Structure 1
């Protein structure tokens, strides 16, 4: 195993407090990497192939709820600097991380964080509020010293990417230009660190869930993300400098069920660390969420009710990320 200053995971077997129930844990059956998950070249969306790119995004969002993008406009330096920044952050002692974050107002969760079943997740994570960015970034840790500069630059570029993707989706759905511009905020960044695990079949980095966002944009250095496809778990490959784009609950609702938010989870591995950076594009808390009126007519009845996004978020916490329960509670028409 790799050496690391946070040595809680340097054990010969998985401690009992990290072992999930048999029905929840990954088990010995390895989920294969799914080569069918679309990889979309956004560089072509600026030219004559834009219609084809829109169709690729829509088909991926309908069939998988997830796709990867390359030539996306986020600079290679931003990507490399972000990974370097968070590898350095998670490489500090737990005491240093907790001390800095407690003073900054961010939320750091060490390996003592619990999942809903009362079992520890095999990860550490840092939650960075992002809206408004100018204010939130001032609350960031002072170490690593590059943190504020690197994270600010990266988040600006990722926000531009998210709006670009949403504009393509908007056009594909037949919505008016700029439909998502006012209702899409980059509200949260979540950095995760998954250390090597002596037996990944027994534990999880993140439980099975759907994202309560509009879309989520994920950067990962090694595989570990799994999604449900046709009732089976499949792995999502980690492509160099690519982003994984995940359809969130809110976009499924806005599209009136045309686009699907996939269930997914994070698993550990036995050999290397895994670092991921997720950015969540969400509506403002007081935003009214409902199926887009342009997608509702006599032949297409609304599949979801109208609600405030903050009510969805509150229910998401109350139901322990049980999306089906939330949809039944506040989203049924």
Structure 2
């Protein structure tokens, strides 16, 4: 069977054995509650100070929020989603030409399940297509030439989403008493686009579409499609984050948790599969350059620094080595209590 699930010519009738999770990791047939109180931030509905306060509160209490009237045209969001659906529907030999699990040398790649496909005990029900976006002129020539409008549409989308995320980060600056622009430059140098595609699944109770994780980057913007599947862990319970039309879902990443000295949380989340419909989502991640020092911002009022300084390269190595467990990765850089008291 093809590694790339989007190359499977027909919807499979039964779940392949390698996709059946151990009983303790399966979502089962539970009816999960819907997260009805997810904060909604309207970038046109209030003044800047009130928006900053809403974002700060949402990031402290829940670790995520929906944004409407964000400045990215709905028509561009729709065009981009359609382009990715076209891409995953391209002929198998074309998509396979992008197949790679090499995160260092292959800057535009598609893979299935995780980058550890050959060694993992069981597989996740997804294909992922990833490439760098910023600065656009340095990466666009590596992007797919087909669909023919891919580079034009995704290029405009990437630029607009980056502007949006930098605007959100300036609102974080307000809440943290940092100068506007603190997160510009090296702190958000890398922009990674990551698109997950899940074909219909014969038995969603036995598998997952994305591993349980928190995002290791600075900040995440997610455009969901109309098919539900995203869940976050709140107070020990998995809850559904249903799609909101024309909105972006924003997650503070683990780097923002460190820079804020633990003021913000970064939500643990996962993705369920769907038995009847394919599901495609578009993620944009802003990531620090690999060599810049990440540490709690000195201008943030509050307690002594909870974390020592590190580079994103060091952190990501700990994150991957710890099976993408945020507590394990952050624990490698956490100051001991006696160090905080000095």
- Equivalent-residue separation in structure 2 for 1:206 and 1:112 (angstroms): 9
1:210 and 2:208 matched: no
- Equivalent-residue separation in structure 2 for 1:145 and 1:9 (angstroms): 25
1:306 touches 1:331 (CA, 8 Å); kept in 2? no
Superposed counterparts of 1:184-203, under 5 Å? 184-203=188-207
2:193 counterpart SS class = strand
Q: Which runs of 5+ in 1 are unaligned?
A: none
1:316 and 2:314 matched: no
1:307 touches 1:331 (CA, 8 Å); kept in 2? no
1:252 counterpart SS class = helix
Structure 1, residues 162-189: CA drift from partner, whole Å, max 9, x if none? 0000001111111122111122134211
1:225 and 2:226 matched: no
- Equivalent-residue separation in structure 1 for 2:114 and 2:61 (angstroms): 36
1:218 counterpart SS class = strand
2:6 touches 2:127 (CA, 8 Å); kept in 1? no
- Larger mean CA deviation between 115-124 and 187-196 belongs to 115-124
Q: Residue 30 and residue 117 in structure 1: after superposition, are their counterparts in 2 closer, same or farther (change >3 A)?
A: farther
Superposed counterparts of 1:194-273, under 5 Å? 194-221=198-225, 222-273=227-278
- Equivalent-residue separation in structure 1 for 2:98 and 2:329 (angstroms): 35
Q: CA deviation at 1:105?
A: 5.2
Structure 1, residues 47-88: CA drift from partner, whole Å, max 9, x if none? xx3222111111110111011100000111210111110000
Structure 1, residues 103-148: CA drift from partner, whole Å, max 9, x if none? x851111369656742111011101112332111110011111110
Q: Residue 66 and residue 90 in structure 1: after superposition, are their counterparts in 2 closer, same or farther (change >3 A)?
A: same
Q: Residue 186 and residue 113 in structure 1: after superposition, are their counterparts in 2 closer, same or farther (change >3 A)?
A: closer
1:201 counterpart SS class = helix
**TM-score, structure 1 length as denominator?**
0.92
1:8 touches 1:111 (CA, 8 Å); kept in 2? no
2:11 touches 2:199 (CA, 8 Å); kept in 1? no
- Larger mean CA deviation between 111-120 and 79-88 belongs to 111-120
- Equivalent-residue separation in structure 2 for 1:12 and 1:290 (angstroms): 50
Which one of 153, 160, 163 corresponds to residue 160 of structure 1? Answer: 163
Partner of 1:11: 12
Superposed counterparts of 1:1-333, under 5 Å? 6-7=7-8, 10-45=11-46, 49-99=47-97, 106-110=108-112, 117-182=120-185, 183-221=187-225, 222-295=227-300, 300-333=303-336
Q: CA deviation at 1:6?
A: 2.8
For the aligned residue pairs, the C-alpha RMSD in angstroms reads 2.1
Q: Which runs of 5+ in 2 are unaligned?
A: 101-105, 337-342
**TM-score, structure 2 length as denominator?**
0.90
Q: CA deviation at 1:12?
A: 2.0
2:113 touches 2:210 (CA, 8 Å); kept in 1? no
- Equivalent-residue separation in structure 2 for 1:329 and 1:74 (angstroms): 38
2:319 touches 2:325 (CA, 8 Å); kept in 1? yes
1:215 touches 1:282 (CA, 8 Å); kept in 2? yes
Q: Residue 93 and residue 110 in structure 1: after superposition, are their counterparts in 2 closer, same or farther (change >3 A)?
A: farther
1:217 touches 1:280 (CA, 8 Å); kept in 2? yes
Q: CA deviation at 1:257?
A: 0.6
Q: Residue 257 and residue 199 in structure 1: after superposition, are their counterparts in 2 closer, same or farther (change >3 A)?
A: same
